[in-house]
C-alpha cells in the first residue's frame, strides 16, 4: 500500500475523524483512508479512459454487440449451433 501525507487539514475534520475512530474502535488512519475511498469514486469518463488505455496497451477489441442485440438474437433463434 502507498503512503499519503496530507497537510493543513482543518481541525474540525481531524476531530470528526478521531471521533469516528473512537466510536468504531478503529484508528484515525483507517477512518481517513475510508473517507478518502468514499470521496474519490471514478467518474464515467475516468472509467472509460482506463478501459481505452487497457485496450490500447493489450490489444483487446471493443465489444460492439449490445445486450439488447444479444437478447434479440436469442429470442429470434440466431444462436450458434454449438450453443443450441
pLDDT at 1: 84
Q: What is the pLDDT of residue 59?
A: 81
* pLDDT computed for residue 63 by the predictor: 75
- Dihedrals φ, ψ of 75, to 5°? -60, -40
Neighbours of 54 (CB within 10 A): 11
Q: Which candidate, 82, 84, 64, places its Cα nearest to that of 74?
A: 84
pLDDT value at position 64?
A: 81
Q: How far is CA 61 from the centre of its chain?
A: 22
Q: What is the pTM of this model?
A: 0.53
Q: Looking at residue 27, what is its pLDDT?
A: 97
Q: Which three cell numbers stand for residue 69?
A: 442485440
* Segments in the chain below pLDDT 50: 84
- pLDDT attached to residue 79: 60
Amino acid at each position: 500500500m502507498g503512503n499519503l501525507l496530507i497537510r493543513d487539514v482543518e481541525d474540525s475534520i481531524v476531530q470528526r475523524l478521531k471521533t469516528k475512530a473512537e466510536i468504531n474502535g478503529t484508528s484515525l488512519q483507517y477512518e481517513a483512508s475510508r473517507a478518502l475511498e468514499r470521496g474519490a469514486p471514478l467518474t464515467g469518463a475516468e472509467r472509460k479512459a482506463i478501459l481505452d488505455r487497457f485496450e490500447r496497451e493489450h490489444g483487446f477489441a471493443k465489444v460492439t454487440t449490445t445486450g439488447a442485440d444479444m437478447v434479440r438474437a436469442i429470442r429470434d433463434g440466431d444462436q450458434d449451433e454449438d450453443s443450441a
